[in-house]
Chain A
């Protein structure tokens, strides 16, 4: 069964550094998402992406964050100047259509020290 893959599985970075989280969505999916989950808290929507542009973003997704689909397969989340409170699990997801179920990657655990 095709799956969403994310790398790295764990990223440790120092406060103020930039990180790039990578995702390879399922190949025939058209909608891509990033979510985050702070330990012990709910899954929070960050951003959705379709047709090479952001379709919606949450309040969390401020100027510190950006997304990109640099080629036909990768979907990246960049966090500039990381803060301690950015420490969380970041999940990438993709779906075939707008109202189709999301398929999640295994997540990247980001630890900012």
Chain B
């Protein structure tokens, strides 16, 4: 089983849609979780950390389910500028970060 696994997509949605991504991780001892976004040929940029109680930042909501070992990202009212690849990042045993392969999102007018 891969350390961090994501639905590869692509997700093609119209502007204003709500879209959700899931990510599963294999190491039950993982402690830190993040969502990054990556634009084509650019570096990954932190979108948000994921906390146990779930957290929201504007149109973005992240959830963590430790029992099932998955995290999710919900984007509401999607914008054209949300088009990117979304990377799930999980801290490994010694807290070094491991990336999922990413989920590609395209928001269309």
Binding site for B on A (CB under 8 A): 33, 35, 41-45, 48, 55-56, 89, 91, 98-99, 101-107
Contact = CB atoms under 8 A, between A and B. Distances in A.
B1 interface: no
B8 to A, nearest CB: 10
Interface string B24-45: 0000000110100010011111
Contacts, number: 50
B10 to A, nearest CB: 13
B105 interface: no
A55 B31 contact: no
A33 B89 CA distance: 14
Contact of A42 (B41, B46, B99): B99
B97 A102 contact: yes
Contact of A43 (B31, B34, B41, B99): B99
A37 to B, nearest CB: 9
B98 A98 contact: no
Contact of A99 (B31, B42, B44, B99): B31
A22 to B, nearest CB: 15
A56 B99 contact: no
A42 B99 CA distance: 7
A101 B49 contact: yes
Given A104-B43, A104-B44, A105-B43, A99 B101 contact: no
